[in-house]
Chain A
Amino acid sequence: MSTTATPPTVPGNAVLIRRLFGLAWRYRLHCLQVLGIQLVLLTLGIGGLSFTGLGIDYIRHRIEKTPLAANHGQLALPEDWPPLQVLAMLAGLILVFALVRALLNYVYAVSVNRLVQQKLVVDLRGEVYDKLQQLSFRFFDANTTGSIITRVTGDVQSVRMFVDQVLIQSVIMVISLTAYIIYMASLSPTLTVACLATTPLLWLMAAWFSSRIQPEYARNRALVERLVQILAEGVQGIAVTKGFGREPEAQAKFDVANRECLEQQHGIFWRVSLFSPAVGFLTRINMMVLLGYGGWLVAHDRLPLGAGLVVFAGLLEQFSGQVNNVATIVNSVQQSLIGARRVFEILDAPVEVRSAPDAVRRPRLDGAVRFERVSFAYDGADTVVRDLDLDVRPGQCIAILGATGAGKSVLMSLIPRFFDPTAGRVLLDGIDVRRLHLDDVRRNIGLVFQESFLFSNTIAANIAFGHPDATRAQVERAARIAAAHDFITALPQGYDTVLGESGNSLSGGQRQRLAIARAVLLEPAILLLDDPTAAIDSETEHEIFEALDRAIAGRTTFIVAHRLSTLRRADVILVMEEGRIVQRGTHDELMRVPGPYLRVANLQLVDVRDLHLLGLAGGEGGA
């Protein structure tokens, strides 16, 4: 494995937070709107609560002749109204406030979701996806599919949490706590201080607890993931387990992992079950203070019962709700930082290959390929292609033979600019590929890989992948060239057959023929075939030769191959060793000289004896 391209520059938290603020700034108007609604909601909530308290006081005032609104006379109730009318007015006000609140709450929830689900997440996911598609293959080799998917799904969610869970929630929390404190203080400053004395303690506890429990949860997730992995592998490798009669060992392995989950969970349960009652108790201490001290104040007529004590109890409840939010916000910060690091890693990754601004447009190429002293190395790693010269005329077929790591695939990837050479240059039709427009280069090149990836879509859509607007006639023509038309039409749904995930309903030979059809649909001047028969039974290999022969005809072709049956088809065979071309020539030429080609050929070539038995002996065997 080559070392990864970009040196892992881990951005510090400060940098990340600055960038996250930058992200939020892009949505500032929306954020402000959301905050504005919250502010109105807060005022209405406090208003509604104080009307209730006022109502209680009014009833007491009427029945027990207690003084009304001792120190809270902003809203003087008309003394001359009949009592029920006063109550009806209060009840009406409460209802009106509640209705407006309900309406605003709805607007609030919808606009937060608009911001988050319709804008933030969609924008971010789209950006990450766009960027992913530009990245070089090395990124995809270095990361598992699962981890890349998580970046677009879970990690993006974590990033957006910074906006709606951290920023917006913090501002809301600060505003509401301030409002509650001011209102409570206006009722009774001393009671406010007494009741909120435990709050800092609560905050500390919540922060401490969350920092303690988060790693435990992370570990639990890891344990469960491992358990699922053991299960998945156990099922996928069931034939191995059963074949060696090792079911008890497989069971034991699972049981150990299962027990580990159980035991680790017990630790978590203990902590959680200590924390929540403790928080509950602290909140109740506030209530006790309220009842004791507040009751004493009421008894001394320094605080009204309704507008004072009852309202206070209500506010205190809201207050502790907001205080508990702190733990959530702290967690969200941590989580969004982790997510942000992974998302920004993709967004910041340099796009290694792109068109020059003044790129030459060349929609149709003739297919002349020239390598001039080309070397290539993944940065920092060993050179994989050294000082390579090659001149290919349009229409020639070049076969490449070599061991794993000899540089065959790299040589081919330099042509469509999946990588750029570190030294020397690659020319198409006499123009440096780096000066040509990237889209033109790639549209002129047809590709078939070792194991061709087909999408879970219809056969027609797969063939038309490079040219989605292709007509059915064009698709069928390509399929005919690739000797695929017959088996496709034999399928019940024909060209509209939807391939299962990774196209498993087709044989290897059929899949490769679809891949060839996909490549030739574009009528490319150049065809690159990376060991196209590798994943196919040798018995069915011949199925695709017909397709290959027709596809190759008239195009400049590069084909990586191991089997003589394929190598023989080439005009020129290149034998590569450690990034260099050590032999070049036709099959017949190379069979005449001792060297690596002859060695490989002999290994595969049938015994002359066999040929005699077949009655086919001729000038074949060579050695």
Chain B
Amino acid sequence: MSQPEKIRDLGLVRRSRDDDEDEEQFKPLEWGLIRRLFTYTAPVKGKVATLAVLTLIRSMQLPALAWVMSLIIKGPITARDFAGIGLGVAGYGLLAISTDLLFHFRQRYALEIGETVVHGLRAEIFAKTLRQPMGFFNRVKIGRIIGRVTSDVESVRVGIQDVLFVSVIQFGSMIFAAAVMLWSDWVLFLVVLALAPILWLINRHFRGKLSRYSRASSESFSRVTATLAESVNGIRVTQGFVRQETNAGLFRSLLADHARYNIALARTSAILTPLLELNSQFFVALLLLFGGWRVFHGDMATGSLITFFLLANQFFAPIAIIGNQYNQALMAMAGAERVFRLIDVVPDWTDDPAATDLPDPRIYHGAAATPPRNDHAGGVARAPVPENAGMRVEFRRVTFGYDPARPVLHDVSFVAEPGQTIALVGHTGSGKSSIINLVSKFYLPTQGEVLVDDREIRTVAGRSLHRQMGMVQQQNVLFSGTVLENIRLSRPEATDADVRAAAAALDCLDLLEALPAGLQTEVGEKGGGLSVGQRQLICFTRAMLANPRLVILDEATSSIDALTEARLQAALRRLLAGRTSLVVAHRLSTIRHADLVLVLDQGRIIERGTHATLLAARGQYAALYRQFVQVDDRA
């Protein structure tokens, strides 16, 4: 099927094919992949072995049932042997019981093995993903990772639990049925055999066509959902600009387009199913004519004819089933290949094996953070914080690029003495976030050195550094769960009292308790129901709870109403007091209270000093500042 138009312009939303990674649906069978998949069945090794035996037995049971039936009909029933009938039926009953009993184990074990593999793959995907450095997460789209854990792992599940066992059983049934038919009458069996390849070819041809159509259909459906999603998210725009009718027209044409693919799909399967049935009817007709002819000529017994009628289906039905399973197997291969490709991504870098923990001078009293005193509201005087004096951070001629060939930081040097606040100022893309990423050891510098407490950051175990850090991100990331759980994320062993103490230390416990269910308020999708200010407070408290020696803060840009803003600024001052902090600053008050302001432009520090000295210097900073306060406008 050739699609003349690659992107049909159906208006509201344009979506080009996502083809930066091969997402092919099928992949040829590969022994290495299969073997690797089976290593995941290790926890249920015993069941795998049992299942293999059960599968072999079951492959004989199914045709045996049909065969016994034909034996009873052509034997005792035709011979009017009543005792024989009773005996035969009893035998049939025993076989039936054993078949269905065995089926219980065969089905349950297969399902359990499939689930075990799925479970193992999911766990490994998550573990391996978590181990990746930050660069990975900027490269890989989240949808891809989710796709691995959902649809790809599911296709592997089908492959494990169905394909192998079902194929073996069906193949076994075919062989058994073939053997019985061959033994009953080999000439007639040859006729049966001749029909098999035709059936196989028909099946292959249509299955291929079906999977192509179903892909086209799901692609057109993803256009429907994408349009739908944007229609919902953009409803204000749509109503405000009176676009309802235009959108409705576009949506209907998308639906019609999708229906077109579905009908094509339905047509194909509507040919295949009757064709398969027609084939078996053709066989019955042939059997009647050719078999009858042989019976009349005395070449064959009437009983054998009945055997053929009953067993032929056991021979033909597996062909379509195996064909279908084969397709599933190819899909499982493609899924497994993608899953393993994700698992096998080698991290760009890992902690040096020689790296050691950063010594932690903080003393825990069982309580939460040592609350800084409340008397520095002016922000000029700093409360001395005894035990957990801040971390010393130094950049020595650091050059860095996410892509080493294109540096975003050039030769950056500065020192943050313990307890100092460093404000980073500059336009978007000037390198502020990169500095923060380097201090956090999310990335390693291309050249130069980053030192924490006078140790080169590469020699420090990342986690020991992170445990002494408190991070607040621009987007105020919250996880679904309660406010309490979100705060406790920074120190899971903290008690409720610790959390309250941390909030109280920021003087914002009252604000958190004013939430609908206080600290137990559920945070839903997109931080549902919470205002930006509330979200930010939660993130501040989270950082406070960690009692960090180094605070990394990327200030939110969005403006917050004045009252909340004032509370936030006060809370922020308390959070930063006595700790070293690096702040990507968007608020004037933060900048003004910083011990050192670094003005960045295109990856270089172009000016440094305090707010006052920089203003006095009347350089870039002063210009930036003037723009910010807009004093020159409509005075």
Cβ–Cβ < 8 Å partners of B150 in chain A: 224, 228
Query: A residues 95-130 with Cβ under 8 Å of B?
Result: 95, 97-99, 101-103, 105-106, 108-110, 112-114, 117-118, 121-122, 125-126, 129-130
Query: Chain A contact residues (Cβ within 8 angstroms of B): what range?
Result: 35 or more
Given contacts A545-B633, A568-B633, contact A52 B309 (CB under 8 A): yes
Annotate A489-504 by CB proximity to B: 1 below 8 A, 0 otherwise.
Answer: 0000000001000100
Interface presence of A174 (CB below 8 A): no
Query: A residues 572-623 with Cβ under 8 Å of B?
Result: 599-600, 603-604, 606-607, 609-611, 613-616, 618, 620
* Contact call A458/B14, Cβ cutoff below 8 A: yes
**A568-B629 Cα distance, complex, nearest whole Å:** 11
Given contacts A113-B262, A536-B557, contact A235 B469 (CB under 8 A): no
Cβ–Cβ < 8 Å partners of B631 in chain A: 606, 611, 614, 616, 620
Cβ–Cβ < 8 Å partners of B626 in chain A: 614, 616
* Contact call A542/B630, Cβ cutoff below 8 A: yes
**A108-B269 Cα distance, complex, nearest whole Å:** 12
Interface presence of B364 (CB below 8 A): no
Residue of B nearest to A97 (CB): B281
A252-260, A378-386, A471-479 - interface stretch: A252-260
Cβ–Cβ < 8 Å partners of A310 in chain B: 73, 306, 309
Interface presence of A209 (CB below 8 A): no
* Contact call A442/B241, Cβ cutoff below 8 A: yes
Interface presence of B529 (CB below 8 A): yes
Interface presence of B199 (CB below 8 A): no
* Contact call A98/B277, Cβ cutoff below 8 A: yes
Interface presence of A76 (CB below 8 A): no
Given contacts A276-B107, A466-B243, contact A245 B477 (CB under 8 A): no
* Contact call B241/A466, Cβ cutoff below 8 A: yes
Number of A-B contacts (CB under 8 A): 477
**A379-B524 Cα distance, complex, nearest whole Å:** 25
Interface presence of A280 (CB below 8 A): yes
Interface presence of A416 (CB below 8 A): yes
Cβ–Cβ < 8 Å partners of B236 in chain A: 137, 418, 447, 449, 453
Interface presence of B2 (CB below 8 A): no
Interface presence of B445 (CB below 8 A): no
Interface presence of A74 (CB below 8 A): no
Cβ–Cβ < 8 Å partners of B367 in chain A: none
Interface presence of B274 (CB below 8 A): yes
Query: B residues 93-138 with Cβ under 8 Å of A?
Result: 93, 96-97, 99-101, 103-105, 107-108, 111-112, 115-116, 119, 122-123, 126-127, 129-131, 134, 137
Cβ–Cβ < 8 Å partners of A203 in chain B: none
Given contacts A126-B255, A246-B490, A295-B77, contact A416 B288 (CB under 8 A): no
* Contact call A439/B559, Cβ cutoff below 8 A: no
Cβ–Cβ < 8 Å partners of A234 in chain B: 126, 129-130
Annotate B584-603 by CB proximity to A: 1 below 8 A, 0 otherwise.
Answer: 00111000100000000000
Interface presence of A7 (CB below 8 A): no
Annotate A369-406 by CB proximity to B: 1 below 8 A, 0 otherwise.
Answer: 00000000000000000000000000000000011100
Query: B residues 594-635 with Cβ under 8 Å of A?
Result: 611-612, 615-616, 618, 622, 624-635
| Additional 4 contacts, C-beta under 8 A, given A52-B309, A456-B13 | A258-B122, A456-B15, A468-B246, A569-B634
* Contact call B633/A465, Cβ cutoff below 8 A: no
B29-37, B207-215, B458-466 - interface stretch: B458-466
A8-16, A281-289, A359-367 - interface stretch: A281-289
Cβ–Cβ < 8 Å partners of A110 in chain B: 263, 266-267, 270
* Contact call A231/B149, Cβ cutoff below 8 A: yes
**A599-B99 Cα distance, complex, nearest whole Å:** 84
Interface presence of B65 (CB below 8 A): yes
Cβ–Cβ < 8 Å partners of B286 in chain A: 91
* Contact call B89/A258, Cβ cutoff below 8 A: no
Cβ–Cβ < 8 Å partners of B563 in chain A: 403
CB-based closest 10 A-B pairs: A245-B466, A109-B270, A98-B281, A243-B471, A466-B241, A113-B266, A565-B630, A273-B108, A102-B274, A613-B615
A94, A228, A449, most chain B CB atoms within 10 A: A94
Taking the closest CB of chain B, its distance from the CB of A608, in whole angstroms, is 12
Residue of B nearest to A117 (CB): B262
Residue of A nearest to B65 (CB): A284
A227, A538, A540, most chain B CB atoms within 10 A: A538
Cβ–Cβ < 8 Å partners of B473 in chain A: 239-240, 243
A18-26, A261-269, A323-331 - interface stretch: A261-269
* Contact call A59/B302, Cβ cutoff below 8 A: yes
B82, B292, B592, B618, most chain A CB atoms within 10 A: B292
* Contact call B72/A295, Cβ cutoff below 8 A: yes
A28-36, A191-199, A527-535 - interface stretch: A527-535
